[in-house]
């Protein structure tokens, strides 16, 4: 196709993706209160634990805050629901220009990226959010002192609790992309399994630092809960890169045997 025809094809794909997304937003508004109920469950469970059974209360500072919170949730839900169709439309635009091997690689990387992100988000939702919020809400307490006694009570806003949960899910989802990133770098030859193994002794410290950056809560518990899986994923990545290198050496050895040339690379120092 000509350049103008490519632009016309891209416009068609983007239009189809936009239509599906807007329809999904409209449908999501019908379920948006269910979204809010789902996204705030860890916060409500932490509230009950930290405040000795007190009923959770989420406040709003302005009359428009609930509307915008629900709008954001509807857009997040619509993006999640429509993302397979959006990727399909983009794939139909890109795929004709790829070789068969490139298509397989692109599909494998895309599926692995989606699976790792979803797995990380589920890990953050099921494992990290509740203990992190329990720790932070535990600062609410009563100070006795006769007529001068006072209380520290939480006033959690709707926008704040949703923002915290989305930041936690996004951070853990991005963190769990580590195996995909290192696998791609290993396939490109930019990193090796041996080099990653030598770096392993620093990976634990780096995992703790990255865990502190990616988790919105300042508590040590959430950072440790994030650092452990990150360190484990780094070691899984070493295995994946080693398998990629092994498969590459086998292909080069087979090609060398067929051509009579020495194509197998030597081990790096």
Three-class DSSP category at 205: helix
pLDDT for 143 beyond 80: no
pLDDT in tens, 207-231: 888 777 766 655 666 777 778 888 8
Could you tell me how far CA 187 lies from the centroid of its own chain? 22
H/E stretch holding 142 reads strand 141-143
What is the pLDDT of the chain when averaged over all its residues?
A: 84
Alpha helices in the chain (DSSP H): 3-30, 32-39, 41-50, 65-94, 100-123, 129-137, 158-175, 178-187, 193-198, 200-214, 220-259
What is the rounded distance in angstroms from the CA atom of residue 231 to the CA atom of residue 205? 9
Confidence of residue 267 (pLDDT cuts 50, 70, 90): low
Spatial neighbors of 87 by CB under 8 A, at least 6 apart, are 110
pLDDT in tens, 156-212: 899 999 999 998 898 888 888 989 999 888 888 888 888 888 888 888 888 888 777
Closest to 108 measured CA to CA, from 119, 116, 97:
116
pLDDT at 104: 84
pLDDT for 72 beyond 90: yes
- Give exposure, 47-81, as e/b (b: 16+ Cβ within 10 Å): beebbeeeebebeeeeeeeeeebbebbbbbbbeeb
The CA-atom distances, in angstroms, between 186 and each of 158, 180, 226, 238, 240 are: 43, 10, 24, 9, 9
Three-class DSSP category at 190: coil
- Cβ(132)–Cβ(217) below 8 Å: yes
Higher-pLDDT residue of 163, 140: 163
Q: Look at the alpha carbons of 27, 173, 126, 213 in this order and tell me if their dihedral is positive or negative.
A: negative
pLDDT for 102 beyond 90: no
What DSSP assignment string belongs to 21-90? HHHHHHHHHHTHHHHHHHHTHHHHHHHHHHTTTPPP--B-SSTTHHHHHHHHHHHHHHHHHHHHHHHHHH
Could you tell me how far CA 98 lies from the centroid of its own chain? 27
Say which DSSP state 177 is in: T
pLDDT for 258 beyond 70: yes
């Amino acid at each position: 196709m000509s350049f103008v025809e490519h632009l016309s094809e891209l416009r068609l794909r983007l239009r189809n993706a936009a239509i599906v997304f807007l329809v999904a937003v409209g449908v999501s508004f019908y379920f948006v209160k269910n979204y809010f109920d789902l996204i705030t469950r860890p916060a409500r469970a932490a509230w009950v634990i930290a405040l000795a059974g007190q009923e959770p209360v989420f406040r709003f500072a302005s009359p428009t805050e609930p509307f915008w919170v629900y709008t954001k949730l509807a857009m997040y839900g619509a993006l999640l629901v429509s993302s397979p169709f959006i990727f399909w439309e983009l794939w139909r635009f890109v795929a004709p220009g790829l070789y068969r091997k490139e298509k397989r690689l692109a599909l494998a990387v895309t599926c692995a990226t989606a699976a790792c992100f979803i797995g990380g988000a589920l890990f953050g939702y099921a494992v990290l959010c509740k203990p992190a919020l329990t720790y932070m809400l535990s600062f609410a307490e009563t100070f006795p002192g006769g007529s001068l006694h006072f209380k520290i009570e939480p006033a959690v806003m709707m926008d704040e609790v949703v923002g915290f949960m989305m930041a936690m899910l996004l951070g853990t989802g991005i963190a769990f992309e580590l195996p995909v990133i290192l696998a791609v770098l290993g396939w490109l030859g930019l990193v090796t399994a041996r080099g990653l193994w030598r770096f392993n002794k620093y990976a634990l410290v780096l995992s703790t630092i990255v865990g502190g950056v990616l988790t919105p809560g300042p508590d040590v518990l959430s950072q440790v809960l994030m650092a452990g899986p990150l360190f484990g994923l780094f070691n899984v990545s070493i295995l994946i890169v080693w398998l990629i290198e092994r498969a590459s050496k086998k292909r080069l050895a087979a090609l060398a045997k067929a051509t009579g040339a020495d194509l197998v690379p030597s081990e790096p120092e």
